């Protein structure tokens, strides 16, 4: 990987080298930098096979042109949020709720969401409810770092709490089978904060534990605060709240979408159009139809529906992939009757549903017995682990944090949130996390954003993640900059 910094020079290079070898390595090199330019980028080659790739990207290369159906998650995948503003708003709503409705300590909860809080936050942290601890899990499931409340724990304290191996049995179960903690009794013991909708809960959790210890004048040792935090998340994100302007979160986004949501770049929108010319394009989002329509229209434009053959809202992943919940017909934003799989039609939006029925539709529409599907998503359990574990489709993981830990001159505006000094890198670094392991095992590619692919023809081959070599970094593709309209 080469990093370039050239003042007032613009270079575009397309090159083919090693053309006499079985594989042609081709790359696009662009440098457009100036003293006032915000853009620099690292040189990242794509590798084009000189012979047709094995279908479905089952070799070491990934080509979008090998797939029949291309699916996308919406939030944090197609739709990039202004994450600093987003988490600040979320924390504020949660904290106010927890003080006003649950009587928690205002001095702790209503402290500004400042640099210390931002650094304490990281996607993928795990809460140990009973002990009041916040954990980062390493590859293998052991605890790599921990805090009690917001106070970092020493190695000795972690060992005293969880044993010399730093293994918490619940985290080990989560590591073996992440879905084992999704429903059932383990949901009473831990929660992995998987995206920037619930990540600020670690700060609320930590501050409440701090406040209870402070009030007691000692480490209380056993806590039962998660049900209240869960209620605050329900208050904020309950799907009925968007329509009634409740919960403070949706009203803020409605009032001021430009503060919280990036518009998708024309490059990505055009790329979606191009894919749809030859393939099925679908969206499966967890957002309710009203919120999804609002954000998608803001992000992708008035005619966003035309970009997709079919849109599934309130999909309730990972259950969408694991279960057989029926699709529901929508009338406006109202869910109506259940639909059999043979009643699904392209051009429509549906609520809930399941992968098997959706796939049956793809079979019918493509005329292929086993159409090959790829799904792009950011949530490493809902979008990456689950569908791939069940071998339903191939996965491209979208991990925006790659841009914050990237050593290029480009500085992501939300670096403070995306990269924590306290916890270290979310994904890649000297101490790989459990999330590194999941990406490595279940994703074909790990990209910083869709712009990585959108600037390439559909038949360009990208090097895949090598699942057999966890230390190799092939398959990670990082944009040189971020674009938006």
Provide the binding-site residues for Mg ion, judged by CB under 5 A: 73, 75-76, 378
On the question of a cis peptide bond just before residue 318, with omega within 30 degrees of 0, the verdict is yes
Distance CA(307)–CA(270), nearest Å, equals: 9
CB of 378 to Mg ion, least distance (A): 4
27 in Cβ contact with 44 (< 8 Å): yes
CB of 384 to Mg ion, least distance (A): 11
Min separation Cβ 400 and Mg ion, Å: 11
Asked whether the beta carbons of 417 and 87 are under 8 A apart, the reply is yes
By C-beta, is 379 or 436 nearer to Mg ion? 379
Q: Which residues contact 205 (CB under 8 A, 6 or more apart)?
A: 127, 132, 134, 225, 226, 229
> If you ran DSSP here, which 8-state letter would residue 60 be given?
S
Smallest separation (angstroms) from Mg ion to the CB of 76:
4
CB of 368 to Mg ion, least distance (A): 28
Instruction: Give me the least distance between CB of 395 and Mg ion, in Å please.
Output: 13
- Other C-beta atoms lying within 10 Å of the C-beta of residue 6: 12
By beta-carbon proximity to Mg ion, the closer residue of 351 and 408 is 351
The alpha carbons of the chain give a radius of gyration, in whole angstroms, of 23
Angle between helix axes 201-216 and 226-237 (nearest 10 degrees) is: 140
Q: Do 212 and 223 meet the contact criterion of CB atoms below 8 Å apart?
A: yes
- CB nearer Mg ion, residue 44 or residue 287: 287
Least Å distance between CB 285 and Mg ion?
A: 7
Residue 212 sits at the vertex; the CA angle it makes with 433 and 151, to the nearest 5 degrees, is: 35
Other Cβ atoms closer than 10 A to 293 = 18
* Least distance CB 289 / Mg ion (angstroms): 16
Pick from 364, 374, 366, 361: which is nearest to 310 by CA? 361
| Residue 234, SS3 per DSSP | helix
Q: What DSSP line would sit under 295-313, residue for residue?
A: HHHHHH-TTGGGG-SEEEE
Nearer to Mg ion, 62 or 72 (CB): 72
Cα–Cα distance list, 243 to 111, 248, 292 (Å): 30, 12, 12
Per DSSP, the residues of 327-338 read EEEEETTEEEEE
Tell the smallest beta-carbon distance from residue 268 to Mg ion (Å). Answer: 15
**Which helix (H) or strand (E) element contains residue 397?**
strand 394-398
Those residues with Cβ within 8 angstroms of residue 112's Cβ, 6 or more apart along the chain or in another chain: none
């Amino acid at each position: 990987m080469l990093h370039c910094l050239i003042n007032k020079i613009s270079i575009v290079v397309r090159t083919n080298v090693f053309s006499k070898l079985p594989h042609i390595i081709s790359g696009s090199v662009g440098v457009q930098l100036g003293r006032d330019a915000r853009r620099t980028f690292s040189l990242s080659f794509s590798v084009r096979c000189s012979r047709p790739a094995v279908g479905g990207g089952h070799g070491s290369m990934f080509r979008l042109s090998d797939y029949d159906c291309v699916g996308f998650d919406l939030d944090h995948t197609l739709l990039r949020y202004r994450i600093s503003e987003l988490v600040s708003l979320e924390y504020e709503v949660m904290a106010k709720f927890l003080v006003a409705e649950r009587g928690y300590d205002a001095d702790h909860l209503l402290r500004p969401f400042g640099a210390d809080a931002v650094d304490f936050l990281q996607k993928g942290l795990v809460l140990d409810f009973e002990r009041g601890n916040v954990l980062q899990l390493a590859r293998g499931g052991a605890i790599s770092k921990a805090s009690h409340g917001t106070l970092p724990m020493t190695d000795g304290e972690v060992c005293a709490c969880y044993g010399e191996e730093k293994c918490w049995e619940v985290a080990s179960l989560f590591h073996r089978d992440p879905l084992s903690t999704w429903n059932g009794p383990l949901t009473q013991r831990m929660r992995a904060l998987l995206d920037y909708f619930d990540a600020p809960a670690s700060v609320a959790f930590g501050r409440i534990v701090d406040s209870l210890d402070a009030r007691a004048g000692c480490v209380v040792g056993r806590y039962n605060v998660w049900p209240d935090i869960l209620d605050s998340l329900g208050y904020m994100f309950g799907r009925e709240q968007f329509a009634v302007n409740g919960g403070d979160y949706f009203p803020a986004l409605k009032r001021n979408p430009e503060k919280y949501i990036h518009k998708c770049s024309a490059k990505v929108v055009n790329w979606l159009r191009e894919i749809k010319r030859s393939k099925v394009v679908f969206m499966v989002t967890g957002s309710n139809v009203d919120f999804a329509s609002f954000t998608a229209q803001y992000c992708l434009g008035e005619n966003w529906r035309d970009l997709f053959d079919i849109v599934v809202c309130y999909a309730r992943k990972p259950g969408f992939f694991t279960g057989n919940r029926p699709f529901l017909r929508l009338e406006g934003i109202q869910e109506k009757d259940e639909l059999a799989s043979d009643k699904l039609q392209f051009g429509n939006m549906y609520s809930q549903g399941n992968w098997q029925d959706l796939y049956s539709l793809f079979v019918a529409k493509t005329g292929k017995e086993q159409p090959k599907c790829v799904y792009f998503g950011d949530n490493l359990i809902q979008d990456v682990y689950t569908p791939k574990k069940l071998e339903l489709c191939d996965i491209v993981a979208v991990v925006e944090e790659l841009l914050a830990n990237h050593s290029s001159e480009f500085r992501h505006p939300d670096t403070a949130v995306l990269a924590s000094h306290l916890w270290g890198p979310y994904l890649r670094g000297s101490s790989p996390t459990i999330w590194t392991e999941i990406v490595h095992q279940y994703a074909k590619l790990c990209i910083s954003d869709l712009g990585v692919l959108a600037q390439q023809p559909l038949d360009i081959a990208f090097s895949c993640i090598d699942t057999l070599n966890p230390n190799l970094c092939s398959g990670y593709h990082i944009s040189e900059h971020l674009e938006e309209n």
